[in-house]
Amino acid sequence: MKKKALITGITGQDGAYLARFLLKKKYTVYGTTRTLKKNNLRNLSRLNILELCNILQCDLLNIKQTNQIINKINPDEIYNLSGLSSVGKSFIDPLDAYRSIIFSTVNILENIRLKRNKTKFYLACSSECFGNILSGSATENTEFNPLSPYAVAKTSSYYITKNYREAYSIFACSGILFNHESPLRNDDFVTQKIITGAISIFNKKKKFLDLGSINIERDWGWAPEYVEAMYLILRQRNPSDYIISSGKSYSLEKFIETVFSYFDLDWKQHVRINNKYKRPMDLTISKGNPNKAKKYLKWKPKYDLKKIVHEMINDKLKQN
- Site residues (CB under 6 A) for ligand NAP? 9, 11-15, 33-34, 40, 81-85, 96, 100, 124, 126, 177, 179-180, 186
153 burial (CB, 10 Å; 0-12 / 13-18 / 19+) is buried
Rounded to the nearest whole angstrom, what is the least distance from the CB of residue 75 to ligand NAP in the complex? 18
Rounded to the nearest whole angstrom, what is the least distance from the CB of residue 175 to ligand NAP in the complex? 8
Which residue out of 77, 128, 225, 257 is catalytically annotated?
128
Rounded to the nearest whole angstrom, what is the least distance from the CB of residue 201 to ligand NAP in the complex? 25
> Closer CB to ligand NAP, residue 14 or residue 217?
14
3-state secondary structure of 138: strand
Q: What's the rounded Cα separation, in Å, for the pair 171 and 120?
A: 5
Residue 174 is among the residues annotated as catalytic for this protein: no
Rounded to the nearest whole angstrom, what is the least distance from the CB of residue 265 to ligand NAP in the complex? 26
For 50, 96, 155, 190, 194, the CA distances from 204, given in Å and listed in that order, are: 36, 38, 44, 21, 15
Residue 249 is among the residues annotated as catalytic for this protein: no
> Closer CB to ligand NAP, residue 37 or residue 206?
37
> Closer CB to ligand NAP, residue 120 or residue 185?
185
Q: What's the rounded Cα separation, in Å, for the pair 113 and 115?
A: 6
> Closer CB to ligand NAP, residue 33 or residue 249?
33
Residues 6+ apart with CB under 8 A from 286: 127, 128, 130, 132, 133, 138, 178, 179, 216, 217, 218, 219, 249
Rounded to the nearest whole angstrom, what is the least distance from the CB of residue 272 to ligand NAP in the complex? 25
Residue 178 per-residue DSSP state: P
Rounded to the nearest whole angstrom, what is the least distance from the CB of residue 81 to ligand NAP in the complex? 4
Per the CB < 8 A criterion, the answer to whether 254 and 191 are in contact is no
Dihedral sign computed on CA atoms, order 133, 267, 12, 53: negative
Q: What's the rounded Cα separation, in Å, for the pair 41 and 14?
A: 13
Q: Which residue is nearest to ligand NAP (CB)?
A: 12
> Closer CB to ligand NAP, residue 213 or residue 261?
213
Which residue out of 85, 126, 127, 249 is catalytically annotated?
126
Q: What's the rounded Cα separation, in Å, for the pair 23 and 56?
A: 17
Largest CA distance in the chain: 60
Burial 296-305 (b: 16+ CB within 10 A, else e): bbebebebeb
Residues 6+ apart with CB under 8 A from 112: 78, 119, 121, 164, 170, 172
Residue 150 is among the residues annotated as catalytic for this protein: yes
Q: What's the rounded Cα separation, in Å, for the pair 200 and 151?
A: 33
> Closer CB to ligand NAP, residue 270 or residue 290?
290
Rounded to the nearest whole angstrom, what is the least distance from the CB of residue 40 to ligand NAP in the complex? 5
Characterize the bridge pairing of strands 209-211 and 54-57. unpaired
Which residue out of 30, 150, 242, 303 is catalytically annotated?
150
> Closer CB to ligand NAP, residue 201 or residue 258?
258
Residues belonging to the active site = 126, 128, 150
